Amino acid sequence: MQDKSSLRKELIRKRLMIPDDVRKELDRTVFDKIVSRDEYIKADTIFVYASYNGETDTYRLIGDALNRSKRVACPVCSELNGEPHLEFYYIEKIDELTEGYRGIPEPDRNKALKATENDTGQVLIIVPMVGYDREGNRLGYGKGYYDRFLSSCDNLCAIGIAYSMQECEKLPADSHDIKPDMIITDKKIFRF
């Protein structure tokens, strides 16, 4: 079995090689699947990253959620006591996102309202994935931001999104890795 680091590099390289016209069609298919799910329709709040570096597009999803008057919060990566730490901040417009950690678009934590565990309503979180397998194992970027965040939350539904070409036969998984409740790709929907 390939180690996570080399597998991560290979999957990101393959993802970046998807031609633009094909990527747009795949993104549209994933978007249509997400917005037709009850988990999305019933959610009051969406926690969603801004896609970056060839990830499955989330900008259309952010725009749709805002148009439906859902609360939208995007992540800010930082460190807390030397450990990776993820916080979500509400946005009202996509153009409130600016270049942050490693060039990833983020809200300005000095201007935006922080989402907290005391916020009420049904919350859906969209989780980025570099790779996945059919057992629900997810390969992220290797820092554990989302695993740490998800391990501290029990009242939200987590959906990982990816292209079907990111599927792996079997991913190496550690005990601290958190599986999403669902994975949505351009070809399939997996529930766990």
Task: Give how many domains the chain has, as a whole number.
Answer: 1
Q: pTM for this one?
A: 0.93
| Predicted local distance difference test score (pLDDT) of residue 79 | 79
Tell me the C-alpha distance between 105 and 107, whole Å.
7
Residue 93 domain-assigned? yes
Domain limits for position 129: 4-110+121-191
Residue 13 domain-assigned? yes
C-beta atoms surrounding 35 within 10 Å: 14
| Predicted local distance difference test score (pLDDT) of residue 154 | 73
Give counts: helices (H), strands (E), the chain.
5, 11
Which pair of structure tokens corresponds to residue 81?
Answer: 């006591």
| Predicted local distance difference test score (pLDDT) of residue 65 | 98
Parts of the chain with a pLDDT under 70: 1, 117-118, 120
Residue 148 domain-assigned? yes
Residue 168 domain-assigned? yes
Residue 115 domain-assigned? no
C-beta atoms surrounding 154 within 10 Å: 7
Residue 116 domain-assigned? no
- Are residues 32 and 41 in contact, defined by beta-carbon separation less than 8 angstroms? no
Tell me the C-alpha distance between 150 and 107, whole Å.
20
Residue 77 domain-assigned? yes
CATH number, residue 155? 3.40.50.10420
Tell me the C-alpha distance between 59 and 50, whole Å.
6
Residue 81 domain-assigned? yes
| Predicted local distance difference test score (pLDDT) of residue 5 | 87
